[in-house]
Every structure is written in C-alpha cells, then in structure tokens.
A and B are shown apart, each in its own frame.
Chain A
Amino acid sequence: MIVALACCRAVSAAGAPSQAASDKRATRNVTDETGRRVAIPFSVRHVVTLAPNLTETIYALGLEDKLAGDTSFCDTPPAAKLKPHVGSPQTPSLEAIVALHPDLVLATTSINRAETVDALARLGIAVYTSDPHTVRGMLDSVAGMADLMGASEQGAALVAQLQARLDAVHARIAELPLVHVLFVVWEDPLITIGQNTFIADALRWAGAESAIVAQQNWPQVSIEEVVRLQPEYIVLTSDHSESDAASKPSELENLRTRPAWKALKAVEMGHVVVASDEIDRPSPGLIGAIEQLARELHPEAFALNADGRNLVGAARVQLEMVASACTKKECVSCAL
C-alpha cells in the first residue's frame, strides 16, 4: 500500500467509483468496448489476461513483464505457458485472479462470459473487455489496450506496422475477384462462420468470401448446402499437434475418403487450404494468418514480383472497363 501511495499521482480523475475506495491510487475513467465504465489506474503494473488473443497482444506490445497471469489456454508465444494460470477463459477462478493482485484484468467477448466480468467488477477489480468484430477493430483494440497500459507509442508502432502489412497484401489482391470459400470451424457437425465474425472480415482481407451467408456467428450447415454452393476452396484450421506443411496433404486425403466431401469440386481439385490457427484469434498474429491465406488463395498475385505490378496494373484497367459497363449490384468487382 505504501508503494501504491508513492506511485500515486497528484492528479485524481473525477468520480472514481466507490468499489475502488480501498484502492488509494489515482484512476481514470474509460469506457470499454462493451460500453462499460471502468476506473483504471494511471500506472498499470499487474495485468491478468483472460484469453489467448489478449495474452498474445501483451507479448506483441513487449509488455510481458507486466503480465501477472493468463489462462491455461494461452500458448502463444510459448513463454506465455510459464505465466501463472487462473484457469480456463470460460471458468477462471476469481480467487486465483485476486491472488495475483491485478490492477487491470483484460477480457474479451469472443470467449469470456459476461458473468465473469460482472463478478470481477463487483469485487472492485478493473476489467476492460474488448469486443473486436473486424480486423481493423482488432487493431483498434490493440491500440486501446496499449494506451491503458501506458504504452501508447508501442501500440501505435505495432498497429502501424500491422496495417502496413495488411496494405501490402491488399495492394496485391485488391483488384482480384474474391474467392468463394467454405471456412470450416468444425467438421462434424459442420460448423462455419457467419457474416459478423472477425474471421469473415479476415477472409475478405485475404481476398476471400464465405460461400455461406448467415447472421448467426457460428452456424451449423448441412453438407448438402455446401454441395449446392460448390465453394472454390475449403479452408480448414490447423491443429497445434501437426505442422502446417504436413497437415495439408493428410487433411486433403481425409476429405477425399468422406462420401459427401469427396464429390466437392474443391476437394477433387485439391483446393484445400489449411490456415494457421491464428486465424481464430483476434490478435496481432491474425495478420500473419491473413498473409498466409492470401498467398495460398491467390498464388498468382504473389508469384510475380517486379512484373506482377504490371500485371495487376493491366488487370485494374480491364476491371475498370468492366465496372463502367456493369450495373449489377452483386457484381464483386463493382463493389470494390
């Protein structure tokens, strides 16, 4: 407490909540991404993350010294496994969180339960919940979290660098038509993604589009629907147990033995892509997954370097001609 008082700044934000009355440190009020008002200390020294993507973000910002604990699911980077764990993201032990003396807990709507956030807030612990639905939203979250932890500059630098990588991918494939894919979240039963997930947005950045249109986030679909839609590519996610290079042929072989799947044109043609499992996480690693996916789905845009620019330039002229003649709303190239 003496240390805390020593760190206390003279400036005190107005309206610090009553729960934090026992905490003599100066706080500021911020609104988190779910619209909750949170009083956060000016200097955050111990943070606990409740989801793998948040842990990864902390490491990407170089703030791992402040990370007091994470969940048993946090495996990226490998060093995160050595931090004290507070349980799984969905059923963390609140006591274990208290025991780590956090002055900030980071949560996310994509895996944590609202009940956990409520209960921590009741204890007077500052919880900031992120709620990214898009790739840009993820970048904003990263910047926001960096700001909370007094690392705005690192945050801005990281976001700028990630944005530059996204722009580089975009420059190569922007003029190409979107590839229709089936994104497989789960094989049996077949679960895919809805339009409002950040994965759907990540696919668009990688020059692809989910063949299945659904308002639900994780819709279960019948294989018949997939046969009817005939997606150009099947996108699976990799397991940690297998390396990406080894898993692709085996996944393809696996699909070729399954009755309904082997009849799909994409499977026949070997258009099966195994995405890095980073695609499942709204964290900085997502950009790497987008780059890899874009490369696999649009090899032609990445195969050419110096000449490629000319080729893309030529394609752009051609597309503009098409676009000017085309009035159909659903035309993908016009939408671009």
Chain B
Amino acid sequence: MRPLTPRRILWTCAGLFGVLFVMVVISLRMGAYPISVRDIVDTLYKAAMGRREEVPVEFWQVVFGLRLPRIALGILVGASLSTAGAGFQALLRNPLADPYVLGVSSGAALGAIISLIVAPHVVGAIQIAAFIGAASTITGVYFLGRRGGQLDSPTLLLAGIVAASFLSAIIMFLLTMVTGSELRSIAFWLMGDLTAPPPTTNVLGWLGFLFFVFIVAAGAMYTTSSDLNLILTGEQEARHLGVNVNRVKFVVYIAASVLTGLAVSVSGAIGYVGLLVPHVMRMFFGTDYRLLIPTAAIGGAIAIVLADTLARTVVAPTELPVGAMTALAGAPVFIYLMRRRMR
C-alpha cells in the first residue's frame, strides 16, 4: 500500500470533485423542463454578470428557482449523512452503524410530527422542531450511553437502538391523530424528500448557513482522524499510544450527531447513503480516516445528486422521493460491491 501523503489526499479529492462537477452538470441539464446546456451556461453567465433581466423568466425559475437549490441541498445532505455514517461506524466499531442507528432520525421525525400537529402552517416550524428533536435525542442517548462516566460503544449502541424504537412507537401513536394533509407531509418527510422549500426567502443565506455548520462539524471530526485510525485497532492500544480516547469519542459523537440532525431537519430521513457511501469509499480508497472522511463527504454528495436526478427523471413528470431512490438503488449496489470484494 502506498503511503498516505497530503498530496495523495488532495489528488483523490480533486478527482472526486471532478466527478461531482460532472454529476452536477448532468443534473442541471436533466428534468421535465427542456433546457439545453447552452441555455444553462448562458443563464449562469448572465446571472454572474448581474444581467438578470436578459434571462427568460422560465430559465431563471428552472435554473435558480428549482434545480440549483435542490442540487446544493442534495450535496449538503449527502455529504453530511455520509460523513456522519463514517464517524458512527468508527465510534461504534460496527460496520452496520449508520447516521440513524442512535435514534437521531426518530427524534427528528417526532419533532417534525409534533410541529405538524401543533403549528401545521408555520413556515420553517418543521425544520426547527426536527432539529430540536434530533438534539434532544442526541443528548438523551449520550447520557444513557455512558458507563462509568465514559462513552461506552456497546452501551451507546444499545441506548440508541432502544431510543429509536421507543420514539418510533410514539410516532406511530401520534400518526393516528393527524389528519389527511399533515399526514401526507409527514409521509414524505419520513421517506426523505428534497423538494420542501427552505423556511426563508433568502435561499442563498440559508444554504450558506447550512454549509457553515457542515464545515465546522465535519472539520471537527477530521481533526480526530489520525486518532480514529488508532482507536479502530483497539481502544486499549490507542490509550497506550497516548490517544485521549474519551475526548475523541466525544468529538466524533457530537460532530456526527450534528451532521445527522442537520441533514434530517432539512430533508427528512434519507436512508442508505450514510451506511453505503463510507463502505464504498473504503473499498476504493482504504480504511484510513484521513482519506475516508473527505472522500465519504464528496462521495455522499455525488450519491444524492445522482439519486435525486434519477428520482426526478425515471417516472417524469411525477417525482419519486429521493429516499425511495436511494433505498432502491443502494441495496443492489452494495451487494454487488460486497460480492466483488470477496472474490
């Protein structure tokens, strides 16, 4: 195996960014509204030059109103879920761990449902309530998952699973109380959906805020990547080598949970990406977390943009929820890659 140099990390990431860029271009081009690459480039160019009035209204609506915000949100959600998945897999030392295993999505879903019952027509209430739900679950599971004052991986996993099933039971109970239109919103939310409009008219500011939170949380996780490599060989060994295991676990737990809460509150529970993408990246680039965290982030973004492009086009003009698409495409891809590696 070649040594992992900063140069190699940069080149790998640059290559993946290239793939992401191609994916974004394809996604911008595809859709129910016919628009050529030339028109898209022209629209983007005129927008950059500040000559909005020269752009046909419909091009503007399609490119800036619909496709770009959705792609940006997809990149953010995919990168967050996948980074969180990589983090949880190391923290729990369990290859089946995903961003939802510790009950974060159930907590967020409960928050969303409560907001739909209490304040059904308040813009942004779902996102805020979902984030509060996710944050409370994170805190609750953290205290349940400690043993002797320290975060204990098996205890944490059990606490998370119990919290998830308990919260799901409350959700099932509350679902019998909501009426038709709210039930529809929540059903889409539980499947994972990128179409919900942001809670503010300042879309750029909103996306900027979300990306800022992502960079902070993913960056915090990245600072622990060398230590995570050691912890993966064994906690005792890592301790002997001078790693502050408790601090690393705390940072990874909080960072991964914040990333999950962020993704779930804006898009609902999109499955499979957080589980699948880190494993795919391991197969391609090895298990070193210094390379895995950035590649998982970019890979997750690619996966969601691809899945959402398919969700928008396969049964056009009807759209599939993106969560249905990730589950539909994720499982076979995963089995194929797993079998191929075994050979």
Interface residue ranges, A against B (CB under 8 Å): 22-23, 34, 72, 85-88, 90-96, 98-99, 101, 109-110, 113-116, 118-119, 122-125, 194, 216-218, 220
Tell me if B16 is interfacial: C-beta within 8 Å of chain A: no
Contacting A at CB under 8 A, from B5-46, are: 31-34
Q: Is the CB of B121 within 8 A of A115?
A: no
The total number of A-B Cβ pairs within 8 Å is 98
Binds A, one of B56-64, B141-149, B293-301: B56-64
* Separation of A86 and B33 alpha carbons in the complex (Å): 11
Contacting A at CB under 8 A, from B188-209, are: 188, 193, 195-197, 201
- Kindly list chain A residues whose C-beta atoms are within 8 Å of the C-beta of B177: 216
- Kindly list chain A residues whose C-beta atoms are within 8 Å of the C-beta of B176: 216, 220
Q: Is the CB of B196 within 8 A of A115?
A: yes
Interface residue ranges, B against A (CB under 8 Å): 31-34, 57-58, 60-62, 65-67, 121, 123, 176-177, 179-181, 184-185, 188, 193, 195-197, 201, 312, 316-321
Q: Is the CB of A85 within 8 A of B317?
A: yes
Q: Closest 8 A-B residue pairs measured CB to CB?
A: A87-B318, A96-B32, A95-B33, A96-B317, A93-B317, A87-B317, A93-B32, A95-B32
- Kindly list chain B residues whose C-beta atoms are within 8 Å of the C-beta of A22: 57, 60
Residue in chain A with minimal CB distance to B184: A113
Which secondary structure dominates chain B's binding surface? loop
- Kindly list chain A residues whose C-beta atoms are within 8 Å of the C-beta of B196: 115, 118-119
Q: Is the CB of A115 within 8 A of B197?
A: yes
* Separation of A114 and B321 alpha carbons in the complex (Å): 16
Residue in chain B with minimal CB distance to A194: B179
Q: Is the CB of B65 within 8 A of A122?
A: yes
Pick from A85, A92, A119, A218: contact of B180, CB under 8 Å? A218
- Kindly list chain B residues whose C-beta atoms are within 8 Å of the C-beta of A216: 176-177, 179
Q: Is the CB of A91 within 8 A of B321?
A: yes
* Separation of A98 and B184 alpha carbons in the complex (Å): 23
Q: Is the CB of A101 within 8 A of B184?
A: no
Q: Is the CB of B66 within 8 A of A98?
A: yes
Q: Is the CB of A91 within 8 A of B319?
A: yes
Q: Is the CB of B123 within 8 A of A95?
A: no
Q: Could you list 20 A-B pairs, sorted by A, with CB under 8 Å?
A: A22-B57, A72-B318, A87-B318, A90-B184, A91-B188, A91-B320, A92-B317, A92-B318, A93-B316, A95-B62, A96-B33, A98-B33, A110-B181, A113-B185, A115-B185, A115-B195, A119-B195, A123-B66, A194-B179, A216-B176
* Separation of A98 and B66 alpha carbons in the complex (Å): 10
* Separation of A22 and B197 alpha carbons in the complex (Å): 21
A98-B58 contact in complex given A93-B319, A218-B180, C-beta closer than 8 Å:
yes
* Separation of A110 and B182 alpha carbons in the complex (Å): 10
* Separation of A9 and B180 alpha carbons in the complex (Å): 41
Residue in chain B with minimal CB distance to A109: B181
A241 to chain B, nearest CB (A): 21
Residue in chain A with minimal CB distance to B58: A98
A195 to chain B, nearest CB (A): 12
Q: Is the CB of A93 within 8 A of B34?
A: no
- Kindly list chain A residues whose C-beta atoms are within 8 Å of the C-beta of B34: 99
* Separation of A95 and B313 alpha carbons in the complex (Å): 11
A284 to chain B, nearest CB (A): 22
Residue in chain B with minimal CB distance to A125: B61
Q: Is the CB of B123 within 8 A of A118?
A: yes
* Separation of A115 and B177 alpha carbons in the complex (Å): 21
A114-B33 contact in complex given A88-B318, A91-B320, A122-B65, C-beta closer than 8 Å:
no
A111 to chain B, nearest CB (A): 8
Q: Is the CB of A114 within 8 A of B185?
A: yes
* Separation of A96 and B181 alpha carbons in the complex (Å): 23
Residue in chain A with minimal CB distance to B318: A87
Residue in chain A with minimal CB distance to B182: A114
- Kindly list chain B residues whose C-beta atoms are within 8 Å of the C-beta of A98: 33, 58, 61-62, 66
